[in-house]
Amino acid sequence: MRLNAFIAKRKAWGALLGGIGLACAAPVALAGPTIQFGEQGSLTFTYALQAWAQNVDYSANNRVSQTDFFLRRNRLAFSGQFNDYIGFYAQLEGGGNPGADNKVYFRDSYLTFDYTDELRFIIGEFKNTFSRENLEACLEPLTMDRSENLAYTPFGGTRDKGVAMWGNLLDAKLQYRLMVAQGRDDGNKASDNPRLTARMHYSFFDPEYNYGYLGTYLGTAKVFTVGVAYDQQSDVVYANYPMRHDPQDYKAWTVDAFFEYPAASGVYTVSGAYFEYDTNNVSNKMPDANFPVSGDLKGHYVKAGYMFPDKVGFGRLQFFARNEKSDYGIKTGIAEYHDRTWNSIGANYYLDGQKLKLTFEIADISFDTPHPVTPKLGDYKQATLGLQFIF
């Protein structure tokens, strides 16, 4: 693409990316009030809330059930453009899972440098570029939420500090990403090496040209995208931590696919991914106490959705289902208590698109070998009702 042509489009894209933010990839329609500064500068405020009521039923293993009311996400974002090339994003978080102290902190903080559509940079703390599900908008998912561990890398989690280079090629059909980041950042790692991540995808129908993805486009696009990624950090853990001996590398790979097709009979969505995280079976050796349970995790998920073509009452109704299998490879004697299967069904009721919606999900979580003492490692059922509001 010629530079002049890119600049002509860049103002529109700048506004879009400012509303999106790389943190949740919400479309420009979800952005809040915007203040303009001169011909190129802008600042947009966006507030988002996900309020959940959740019941976890442990009766399958004769344990006490619990009900929690909490803010899964409670966010205030500041995004915008300094000029046609430089953008920024900062997001405050005050929510979390049940039992979280809800302290307010910066979840994201970064600058974007967009020279051309083929060459862009991100610098700061932002979303890892490894898995599609982690990159899918937290405010525009298909199912109730992401997987608890599969989509999050063991040593970077959902976000990391570093720099990414990315861009779109072949009319945005092909996208590449390269990221250099902090990775594991504590005193227990064997050496201080950076984390390296590479990802690419190809879109066969409408292109997915943003850094973030959506879990559903609500019938506004025909999408079929296939992606692959690789993640690596050298000397990330000692296999024998007490003796500070036998350093091991971390490496991971994933492959994913997303399909959504709007038809006269409704909107059909199917997506799935496979993951392998590998530290050479350190989980079953003598790592440090902070070594994550997902260090040698393997697994997959499959999601499917159907949205009716017309309104049902006041809004649009979309059903969804999810199957997820996780194999942690962690042994206690001969038992592997962490390995589990997650099956869930639910529905999204869009009163005003993603800006105002209700979601209900019932999940059945079963373990290959239920733990005799720990409730969260024993079979349980979970029912969640969520309200989402975005301004």
Q: Per-residue pLDDT tens for 174-202?
A: 999 999 999 999 889 999 999 999 999 99
Location of structure tokens 């024998």: 240
Question: What's the CA gap between 35 and 19, in Å, rounded?
Answer: 12
Does residue 267 sit in helix, strand or coil? Answer: strand
Taking the C-alpha atoms of 19, 23, 25 and 29 in order, what is their torsion angle to the nearest 10 degrees?
-30
For residue 224, what are the β-bridge partners?
259
Question: What's the CA gap between 212 and 205, in Å, rounded?
Answer: 17
Residue 276, phi then psi, degrees to nearest 5: -140, 120
Write the DSSP assignment of 362-380 as a string of letters: EEEEEESS--SS-GGGS-E
Q: Which tokens belong to 206?
A: 């409408």
Helix (H) or strand (E) holding 132: helix 132-135
Give Dmax (Cα) for the chain.
67
Location of structure tokens 């999106």: 20
Question: What's the CA gap between 217 and 220, in Å, rounded?
Answer: 6
- Residue 59's pLDDT band, with cuts at 50, 70 and 90, is confident
Question: What's the CA gap between 199 and 112, in Å, rounded?
Answer: 18
Question: What's the CA gap between 51 and 102, in Å, rounded?
Answer: 13
Please state, for a pLDDT cut of 70, what percent of the chain lies above it: 92
Contact 96, 123 (CB under 8 A): no
| Amino acid sitting at position 213 | Y
Q: Pick from 235, 231, 234: which is nearest to 244 by CA?
A: 235
**Of 2.40.160.10, 3.40.50.300, 3.40.50.10420, 2.60.260.20, which CATH number belongs to 3-390?**
2.40.160.10
3-state helix, strand, coil in the chain (%, to 5): 10, 55, 35
What is the structure's pLDDT at 156? 87
What is the structure's pLDDT at 32? 77
pLDDT exceeds 80 at position 27: no
Q: pTM of the prediction? A: 0.90
Question: What's the CA gap between 288 and 188, in Å, rounded?
Answer: 7
- Residue 64's pLDDT band, with cuts at 50, 70 and 90, is confident
What is the structure's pLDDT at 313? 96
What is the structure's pLDDT at 98? 87
pLDDT exceeds 50 at position 235: yes
- Alpha helices (H) in 285-372, listed in sequence order: none
